[in-house]
Amino acid sequence: MDRRKFLACCAATGLSSTFCAPAFGNAPDDALADQMKKTRGFLIADAHAHPYQLHGSRSYDSSAPTIAMMKSQGMALCSFSAVGDMTFYRGRSGSPFGDTQNQLRQVRRLEEKGELRLVLSSADVQSLSISPAVTGGLMAIEGGDALEGKLSKLDAFHQEGVRLMTLVHDRDNEIGYNQRSGTDGSLTPFGIQVIERMSTLGMVVDVAHAKSATLKGLAEVCATPLVDSHTSPFHPGAEGSEPRRLRTWPEMELVARSGGVVCTWPMAYSGKNSERTTLGHWAEEIVRMKARLGIEHCGLGTDGGGGLPRLITGWESIASLPELIAALRQVALSEDDIAAFVGGNFLRVLGKCMA
């Protein structure tokens, strides 16, 4: 599908201008204004989550989304992320490829029971609606370790329904280096092949967890918009006292220049020169990102079920979305800005990559 047809289809379904293209500052059209009068009124999409903790974590996480939670919030789409490197740091037997396949089969079973509808194409993205009867499910993998260094396994995952992959997770792998690594390096030759193949297949390249040089290599090679599915920006001058999983402004600008989206999460932390502990802090962060990156490059990725060490006050799970939206309004973000952040921008990128 070419760009003109994609935009026409967006308009036909009454989605926001921000969903269709980076249109920062444009007023919402009449169809979107009518949608906003409805309950909740936003097309909500979570770019990164672990519903039901399908990866089999031994620690219960009450923030893990369930289908019932998604329905209660009228969510259009939620990521169902399998973890590709569980066999390395959890002591599980089996291969990374096989273990990840087993996690994804649980998503397929939810689809077979009619509890979710898998989103597999740009047409599926365009058909998503506010308060749907059945939430859209995006099959994803966190950690390219699951490929075991073989492109054929990327094709196999795509055939199973995977449409987004976070290339590195908690360990360095055949693709590149992760943010907790003691070293850094650019994208590997195999990583370049993976990116090229993902673009051909219509898969989203997620740069979350990628260390700086690897991220730079990804931005240089990838021809489609990038996504950082769960992070937040360092406070100026606080890089040494905050979690390593955060992003510098130059790193986020690489994602924005690709036409992509940086998705922020509810992880709380406080350091010597910074504090991010409340919904108000999260909302103020979006205001800063809007000023620096453009609202069209801001999105939501909760990492629900991912075992965040500490959640900001006021956030328990996606059931707290109304409180987050209220906080966004309190910092004077417009309804169009909020619609872009809570789902429109990520869905725009998802549709473009799949197209």
Q: Residue 122's domain is classified under what CATH number? A: 3.20.20.140
More confident residue, 219 or 273: 219
What pLDDT, on the 0 to 100 scale, is given for residue 26?
Answer: 33
More confident residue, 10 or 205: 205
For residue 17, the Cα-to-chain-centroid distance in whole angstroms is 20
Lookup: tokens for 128: 């998503």
Among the ranges given (11-15, 30-34, 341-345), the one the predictor scored with the smallest mean pLDDT:
11-15
What pLDDT, on the 0 to 100 scale, is given for residue 144?
Answer: 98
Average pLDDT over residues 312-333: 97
Mean pLDDT, the chain, whole residue set: 88
What pLDDT, on the 0 to 100 scale, is given for residue 241?
Answer: 63
The length of the chain, given as a count of residues = 355
- For the chain, report the end-to-end CA distance as a whole number of angstroms: 6
Question: Scanning the structure block, which residue is given the tokens 């009124």?
Answer: 41
State the helix-helix crossing angle for 249-257 and 279-293, rounded to 10 degrees: 60
What pLDDT, on the 0 to 100 scale, is given for residue 307?
Answer: 93
What pLDDT, on the 0 to 100 scale, is given for residue 244?
Answer: 86
pLDDT at 93 over 90: no
Out of 10-19, 30-39, 92-101, 336-345, the most confident range is 336-345
103: enclosing H helix or E strand: helix 96-112
Split at pLDDT 50, 70, 90, the class of 37 is very low
User: Model confidence over 234-274: pLDDT tens digits?
Assistant: 987 666 666 789 999 999 999 999 999 999 999 999 877 78
Alpha helices in the chain (DSSP H): 3-12, 17-20, 30-36, 67-72, 86-89, 96-112, 122-126, 151-160, 189-201, 212-221, 249-257, 279-293, 321-330, 335-339, 345-354
What pLDDT, on the 0 to 100 scale, is given for residue 239?
Answer: 66
Number of domains in the chain: 1
What pLDDT, on the 0 to 100 scale, is given for residue 41?
Answer: 84
Split at pLDDT 50, 70, 90, the class of 280 is very high
**What dihedral angle (degrees, nearest 10) is formed by the CA atoms of 126, 131, 137, 143?**
100
pLDDT at 91 over 80: no
Torsion over CA: 112, 118, 121, 122 (sign): positive
Average pLDDT over residues 81-99: 90
Residues 265, 315: Cα–Cα separation, whole Å: 10
Q: Do 61 and 305 contact (CB within 8 A), yes or no?
A: yes
| Cβ partners under 8 Å of residue 160, min gap 6 | 101, 104, 108, 139
Domain that holds residue 339: 3-354
Phi-psi category of residue 52: left, alpha or beta, with phi > 0 → left and psi -120 to 50 → alpha = left
Residues 270, 273: Cα–Cα separation, whole Å: 8
What pLDDT, on the 0 to 100 scale, is given for residue 58?
Answer: 73
pLDDT at 173 over 70: yes
pLDDT at 171 over 50: yes
Lookup: tokens for 154: 């990327």
Residues 143, 86: Cα–Cα separation, whole Å: 9
Q: Do 118 and 139 contact (CB within 8 A), yes or no?
A: yes
What pLDDT, on the 0 to 100 scale, is given for residue 90?
Answer: 66
Average pLDDT over residues 296-320: 97
More confident residue, 131 or 299: 299
Average pLDDT over residues 283-308: 97
* Nearest in space to 245 (alpha carbons), one of 174, 307, 165: 307
pLDDT at 31 over 60: no
**What dihedral angle (degrees, nearest 10) is formed by the CA atoms of 267, 289, 348, 69?**
30
**Neighbour tally for 297: CB within 10 Å:** 27
Q: What percent of the chain has a predicted confidence (pLDDT) above 90?
A: 80
